[in-house]
Amino acid sequence: MKRQHRIRRTLVLGGIVGAILLSGLLFFPATVTRHFEMREVIIPKGASIEEISKILEAKDLVGNPRLFVLAARVLGYDRGLKAGRFNIPVGSSIYRILRQLARGMSSQDMVTIPEGLRTDQIARHINERAKIDAIGLMTLANDSTFARSLGVPADKVEGYLYPDTYPFYPLLTPAEVLRVMVERALRIFGEEMALPGARQGLTLHQLVTLASIVEAEAQVPSERARIAAVFYNRLRLGMMLQSDPTVLYALGVWRGRTYYRDLDVKSPYNTYRNKGLPPGPICNPGKDAVHAVLFPLADSTEYYFVARGDGTHIFSRTWEEHLKAIAHVRTQAKRESTLVPTGPGVTSAPPSIGAPSASAVPALRARPVSSKDSVAIGPPPPPKKVAAKTTAKSPASTKKTTAPVKKPTAPAKKTTAPAKGGTS
């Protein structure tokens, strides 16, 4: 009896000591470091627990790969570890590493795509954040066969790369990245189109195209539906959209200003030369822009808008109102450009910054797709010889002018000089 009791006591003590040692190995730091240090680890898709343990050992995060595998199996983590890019603190316990890999990538390691970026901007951003080949992304993005295979009703995926946060990491292929983004876009756009009361009459591609223009024009979220309504009103009356971001997209030049000479670019994307919608999206819109196109401001009678310079716009129903709005923006811009700071701490007045003359002001009424901080400026001054006749003061009236203007003078207007203006 005494011998059996000693054996039983030895086993119990051994079990306790073993449990303590195992707990120490699992839950206490593997190493003690004086300075906090992180190691980046890439776990490929489909990697086994043995392969993951070897990756961690190579990064000096795990000292005993076999113990790591055993712990993963005992704790039930061997089949639940996620692929991706992880930043793991040096000295982390086995349990902490297993939990981190089981939770998946953190927000700091993911790639966030903002609304309104062009495909080339998205490719560069993904390359910078996830080290995925930007050239490969662009090549596939413009491949019509690949686009059609994803269900995109166009020859390229521009407009269908949904802005969101993604767990992209270096070992993913360009095809995998684009597929994930396009599938999410098609799903969300389809859900929006199926909402009760959504505007009918547009195909999916037309919806995304108009949403991309609204996304590029709107700087304040609350104005999206109102801007969408303006474009619907112009389309209904056969007026050209005359959206500056479409001109910049046609030019392939991304800068903060649109000049009058830019409006003559020959491209189906130039909505100053072509009626209706452009052939496709000019950027990749988000859910809110698509929603605004499906649910535009009701009973809108506005045909024009001009940016104030603070992110908001002045909306107008008639050409005359629009001209007044442009004059107001010009005056405000000139006043702000000539302000001189005074008060405590100002030892001397800085050089005066004179506002450019009206003839030198570039034609800018909306920011380019890549920027949201432009100031809208109205039409240029008329030429020396002007023969204008005004017969009405509403969007439905007829008006002729030989002066270059920013928008058609009325829904049915004819101009004998290059038109410039409108949705400023």
Cβ–Cβ under 8 Å, residues 262 and 194: no
Q: Which of 76, 121, 108, 111 is nearest to 95 (CA)?
A: 76
Instruction: Give the torsion sign (CA, 120, 121, 123, 124).
Output: positive
Tokens of 380: 């240029």
Mean of pLDDT values over 141-156: 96
Checking if the pLDDT of 343 tops 60, the result is: no
- Could you tell me whether strands 84-89 and 399-401 are parallel, antiparallel, or unpaired per DSSP bridges? unpaired
Residues 147, 140: Cα–Cα separation, whole Å: 8
Q: Which of 391, 223, 359 is nearest to 292 (CA)?
A: 223
Band (pLDDT 50/70/90 cuts) for residue 342 is very low
- As beta bridge partners, residue 38 has 89
Residues 290, 272: Cα–Cα separation, whole Å: 23
pLDDT at 6 (0 to 100): 60
Checking if the pLDDT of 404 tops 80, the result is: no
Residues 174, 176: Cα–Cα separation, whole Å: 5
Cβ–Cβ under 8 Å, residues 78 and 49: yes
Band (pLDDT 50/70/90 cuts) for residue 101 is very high
Q: What is the CA radius of gyration of the chain?
A: 31
Tokens of 67: 């113990």
Torsion of CA 23, 27, 31, 33, to 10 degrees: -140
Mean of pLDDT values over 341-347: 44
Mean of pLDDT values over 409-413: 41
Residues 163, 188: Cα–Cα separation, whole Å: 11
Checking if the pLDDT of 143 tops 80, the result is: yes
pLDDT at 333 (0 to 100): 80
Q: Which of 40, 18, 26 is nearest to 131 (CA)?
A: 40
**208-240 per-position pLDDT tens digit:** 999 999 999 999 999 999 999 999 999 999 999
Residue 39 DSSP SS3: strand
Burial of 360 (0-12, 13-18, 19+ CB in 10 A): exposed
Hunting for tokens 């009703």 — which residue is that? Answer: 153
**275-323 per-position pLDDT tens digit:** 999 999 999 999 999 999 999 999 999 999 998 888 899 999 999 999 9
**361-388 per-position pLDDT tens digit:** 333 343 333 334 333 333 333 334 434 4
Torsion of CA 243, 249, 255, 260, to 10 degrees: -50
Residues 53, 73: Cα–Cα separation, whole Å: 12
Ranking 216-225, 241-250, 315-324, 404-413 by mean pLDDT, the lowest is 404-413
Residues 77, 98: Cα–Cα separation, whole Å: 7
Tokens of 306: 């001009």
The per-residue pLDDT of the chain, averaged, comes to 78
